[in-house]
Structure formats: C-alpha cells, structure tokens
Amino acid sequence: MDFDGARGSREVVELRLQIENLESRLATLKTQLAVAEKKDILTKSQDDFVAKPSIKPGTEDSHGALDFTNLKRGTLTEASHSRWPLQNEEYTRYGRQMILPEVGLPGQLRLKDARVLIVGVGGLGCPAAAYLAGAGVGTLGLVDGDTVEISNLHRQIAHSTATVGMSKVDSAIKYLSSLNPLVRYERHPEHLAPSSAIDIFSRYDLVLDCTDRPSSRYLISDAAVLTGKPLVSASALKTEGQLVILNNPPRSPRDPAGGPCYRCVFPKPPPAESVLSCGEGGILGPVVGVMGVLQALEAIEILVAGPIVSDASNGTVEAEPARPTLLMFSANSQPQFRSVRLRSRRKDCAACSSAATISRRSLTSGLLDYQTFCGTVAPVDMLPAESRISAAEFSNLPSDSRGVLIDTRDETQYGICALPGSINVPWTGDAKSWAAKASSLEDVARAHGPAHVVCRLGNDSQLAVKAFQEHTERFEAKDIRGGLRAWREQADPEWPDY
C-alpha cells in the first residue's frame, strides 16, 4: 500500500505533498487563465458587432447591468483569495458531472460564470431551469407573467399545490433555491414585451425560449439576433415536441456564417385560428418535460464548450454557414425522435440578413406589433339573440321543451363528461358536411322542438347552429351561450372543470 511505502521517510512524504499542492495550484491557475483568455476573446468579438446597449446608467433595477459587472468582479476576487477556484461544497455538488471529460473544471467554471435567461416558466421552463440550476449555472433569469394554476401541475414540475396562485417566477425560484441555493436567481415576473426584451436579453449570455405561442417565438428570436445571443428554442403540444438551436454562432445580422433565426426557418406564422394552446389541444407531461430537459442539455453543451474562436477571425478561412438541426419528438411515432437538417441564414430574412428591417429601435419603440403579425382570434359572436339561450335558461326548460341536445366536442372530451340525453356530433370545421351528418342522425331528425347545441366554451356550437340554419331544413337551432363552462357556472357547480 502507498502508506507503507511512504512511511520510510517523513521528509520525502512532506516534500511530495508540497509538490502536489503546488502542482494542483498551478493547474488551477492555468485553467483560470485559459478561461479568462477565451472570455476576453469572446468579449472582444462580441463588441465588434453588438452595438452598445441603449441602457442609461442608473436606470436599471437591482438586477441591472451595473450589478452584473460587480458580480463578475466579485467572483474573480473571491477566487483569487482561495486556494481552489470553486468552494468545497461545489466540488461535492457538481463532482458527478465535473469528472466527465466533457465538463471538467474548465467547463464547471464556465457554467458558474454563465448568465442564462429562461423565457416562460411552464412545462418547458420548469425542467430546463431545474437542470440548469442543478448543474451550477451561475445566474438564472426567469421571465413569466402568469400565476400558477392547478391545471399546470401535471407538467410544470417546479410548481406545487402549495404555490397555486403565486407568480410562476416566484414559485419556481422557491423550488430552485431549495434545489441549489448557490445559484443567483433573477426575477422578471412579467410577460416579455418588445419594449423591454432588448434590455433584458443584453444582461445574459444565452436564452431559452420556453414559451407556447407564435408571437413570443418571433419576439424572442428577433431580440436574440439583435443582442447577439444564442437561442435554444423548444415547443411542445399534444404528444409532439420540437427543439432547435438558433442564432448560433450569434454572428452579426450581416454575417451569413451566423446561425439562422426562427424567421429563417418559419418565415410565416401559422394562421391564428389554427393555433392551439395546451388548454385547447392538450399536452402530455413527459412530452413537454423531455423537450425542456433537452433544452437544458443543449444549453449546458453550449456553455461548457466555451466560445468558439473562428478561423475567420484569423483572416485565413471563410467560416461555413451554420446549418442547425431540428429535432422532432413524437410520442406515438416509430422512431420517436427524428432530426432534420435546417437551412443556413435566409438571404432576405427580416431579422438576421443584410436586408434586415428589424432593428433595436423598431422593438423598443413598439413599431413592431407581434400580435398583429401573428394575427388574433376574436371570440365568435355570430348569432342573433333569438338563436341563443343561456345555460341557466336552458337548465330551467321543462324536459319536453328541450328538444334534442347536440354536443359538438370531440369523442374524448365527450367521454370525460356529457349531459344526459345529449348526442355527440363532433364539429369537423366544415359546415356543410357537419350539418349533413348531424341532420341524418335519427335522434336529431325525429326530435320535436329546437336543436340545442353545446360545446366546451361556446364557439364551435355557434358555428354548428349556423351550419344547421344554412345547410338543413331544421331552422330551429339554438346555441347554449358560453358552452359547458357557462353550464358549470350557472347550472351545475359540480360539473367537471377539466
């Protein structure tokens, strides 16, 4: 054993120990130097193309840019006083990932030095934040204007029954702080707005898009391009998910070697009426969870790898245009994961090309309206009053005046709860074929009195009543205003609120 062999001379042992200590101190200093040098190069190359942020000194909140500078200085001073670059607890806490050659001490120091912004603290943002906090990312900023609802909890793992009603940002920080108190958490308990996006993004190194609607995806992508930040973007709905790393490397908008942005891949937003939220389309917890975990993985890989010193900066080799992959996950397909190669930057991209029309000014001044760009869906209100009946009135009708009751929700929702005697004719989106199908049903054709139509929220049922009126002989059809939600509020408080 080593101990026995070394027992011979106490002096030899002591000298060896001293050498070992000095060597490890030297190794640490070399690592710190390498990290500092690379950071220097990155800062310089970013300064080359990122215009100075238009923040006036002294106007920041407590998490402003001034704070950031002090923090960095503080970390360095602290490290130089200690024998080791990390605190003892950090070696223990992060040891399992630090012993991976892909991470090592340099990788851990880069994570500690990193500032990551997570936009959206829901199904994607919760697992992403948890793994990034666990991994020891130095600063995590969280943006979300919503409060925790009980219907979030099946997938939004940082929130809990006890934090229902609390702001999602505060609820997540409560969870994350108990997971890892060594991380600095920054609160942005608001919806990301074009006017503030540039200011907020400027304070971070990397951004995660964990939101759930097209308008925020375009805004986040534009702001990431304008501030020169790589963007890890994911989305999930029903049983499917998508993951893509955009604007990486984050070159200046005129440089075709930079990674494409969201607009390069999806230049046209989907028609507003086709966009489903998780509340409308449904979402399986592990599906969105897997996508959020993958976002954390990609973020860690980018941060640990450190800044890429491109050949182009040496003036020798022209950098190849970056073409990222889009990873698609589909729980019900075989294989579940597919990955396709995307395009390089679009020559006429509105955000990241030399023909770009989107500027910091167009965001901060509010000239760009993302809601208008993506379209909005006005609540359906298409029927005259005589074709509608309130849920309360309907519940008070004697049973022989109720006529026939048609429920236009899909079979799955109808299977969760249905009104007694109702007939399920799922709305198809096509008025003529739906009306033909509904009126051909024996129970509908035979029924005396009006057809009452109900759905979940009272939109499809109006379309269905109109379809009846326009495409069938049956003119007497009435919409139950506000659907089954109104039924619950006005007639039956025990009705399932799914």
Partner 1 sequence: MSIPKPPPDHCTILYFAAATSYTKKQYDHLPTPFHVSRLPDVLEERYPGIKSKVLVSCAITVNLDYVDLEEEADKDNDGLLVTAGDEVAVIPPL
Positions that interact with partner 1 (CB under 8 A): 214, 217, 235-238, 240-242, 265-266, 268-271, 274, 323, 326, 328, 330, 332-334, 338-343, 346
Is 126 catalytic? The answer is: no
Does 338 show up as a binding residue in the annotation?
no
122/306 with CB nearer partner 1: 122
222/240 with CB nearer partner 1: 240
Does 191 show up as a binding residue in the annotation?
no
Catalytic member of 126, 210, 374, 455: 455
Catalytic member of 126, 210, 278, 374: 278
Report the nearest approach of partner 1 to the CB of residue 31 (Å). 39
Length of the chain: 498
DSSP 383-420: S-GGGEEEHHHHHHS-GGGS-EEEE-S-HHHHHH---T
219/389 with CB nearer partner 1: 219
Q: Is there a contact between 464 and 427 (Cβ–Cβ < 8 Å)?
A: yes
Does 479 show up as a binding residue in the annotation?
no
203/345 with CB nearer partner 1: 345
Does 123 show up as a binding residue in the annotation?
yes
Report the nearest approach of partner 1 to the CB of residue 240 (Å). 5
Q: CA 397, CA 385: separation in Å to the nearest integer?
A: 17
DSSP 214-240: HHHHHHHHHHHHHHT--EEEEEEEBTE
Reading the block at residue 482, the tokens are: 């506000």
Does 151 show up as a binding residue in the annotation?
yes
75/336 with CB nearer partner 1: 336
Q: Is there a contact between 113 and 75 (Cβ–Cβ < 8 Å)?
A: yes
Q: CA 51, CA 417: separation in Å to the nearest integer?
A: 57
In what helix (H) or strand (E) does residue 117 lie, and over which residues does it extend? strand 115-119
With 0-12 CB in 10 A as exposed, 13-18 as middle and 19+ as buried, what is 423? middle
Does 213 show up as a binding residue in the annotation?
yes
135 CB-near residues (< 8 Å, 6+ apart):
94, 97, 111, 296, 300
Reading the block at residue 394, the tokens are: 């309907």
Annotated binding site for Zn(2+): 261, 264, 349, 352
Catalytic residues: 278, 455
Which positions make up the binding site for ATP? 123, 144, 151-155, 168, 212-213
